[in-house]
């Protein structure tokens, strides 16, 4: 199948796809704000620059697009008919990067909640899921990856 758009038009379309401040992410942030929960956005010192980080609680919320991150069983996770080999490799690398980042985040002592784009349309259910996630036990905040603030720098990580 031939692309109906010129390479310049296709490039302009792809450039409009944002990685931050997406509509699904804003839905989750509004819910957190309504609950009075503070958070930081896209923390660079954590693996994969997670979307929403609650350092004091040691909790992270990742908001993932169903198409790019291959939400299992979701109709939005379809594969384009043009260049299927290219897309298969692209999706595989995204999913493997997600798994690597998730493992590294959990190794640092954070709990992780993954919210899929399709789940943000049901805000009542999503809000309850976030409330349940926030009920997880608080952990001490960190001053460095894996090190609680009250722990001295020469002490080994727990």
Q: Print the domain residue range for 24.
A: 20-134
Q: Give residue 76's pLDDT band: very low, low, confident or very high (50, 70, 90).
A: confident
Find the CATH number of the domain harbouring 85. Answer: 3.40.960.10
Please spell the DSSP secondary structure of 93-107, one letter per residue. HHHHHHHHHHHHHHH
pLDDT above 80 for 15:
no
> Does this model's pTM top 0.85?
no
In a domain, 13, yes or no: no
In a domain, 40, yes or no: yes
Q: Name the helix (H) or strand (E) containing 131.
A: helix 123-134
Q: How many domains does the chain have?
A: 1
In a domain? residue 145: no
Res 10: pLDDT:
66
Q: Is residue 50 part of a domain?
A: yes
pLDDT-wise least confident of 38-42, 72-76, 127-131:
72-76
Q: Answer yes or no: is 9 within a domain.
A: no
59 Cβ contact partners less than 8 Å away, ≥ 6 residues apart: 53, 110, 111, 112, 113, 133, 134, 136
Question: Which of the two residues, 35 and 20, has the higher pLDDT score?
Answer: 35
The bridge status of strand 59-64 relative to strand 52-54 is antiparallel
Predicted local distance difference test score (pLDDT) of residue 140 = 55
- pLDDT surpasses 80 at 33: yes
pLDDT in tens, 86-129: 889 999 999 999 999 999 999 999 999 999 999 999 999 999 99
Residue 93 located in a structural domain: yes
Domain-located, residue 1:
no
Q: Is 56 within the bounds of a domain?
A: yes
């Amino acid at each position: 199948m031939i692309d109906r758009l010129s390479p310049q038009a296709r490039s302009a379309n792809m450039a409009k796809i944002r990685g931050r401040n997406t509509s699904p992410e804003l839905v989750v942030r509004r819910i957190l704000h309504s609950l009075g929960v503070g958070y930081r956005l896209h923390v660079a010192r954590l693996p994969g620059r997670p979307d929403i980080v609650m350092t004091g609680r040691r909790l992270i919320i990742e908001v993932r697009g169903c198409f790019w991150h291959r939400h299992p069983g979701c109709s939005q996770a379809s594969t384009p008919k043009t260049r299927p080999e290219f897309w298969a490799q692209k999706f595989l690398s995204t999913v493997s990067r997600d798994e690597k980042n998730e493992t590294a985040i959990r190794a640092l002592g954070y709990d992780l909640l993954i919210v899929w784009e399709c789940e943000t349309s049901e805000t009542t259910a999503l809000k309850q899921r976030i409330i349940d996630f926030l009920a997880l036990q608080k952990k001490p905040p960190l001053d460095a990856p894996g090190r609680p603030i009250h722990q001295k720098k020469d002490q080994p990580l727990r």
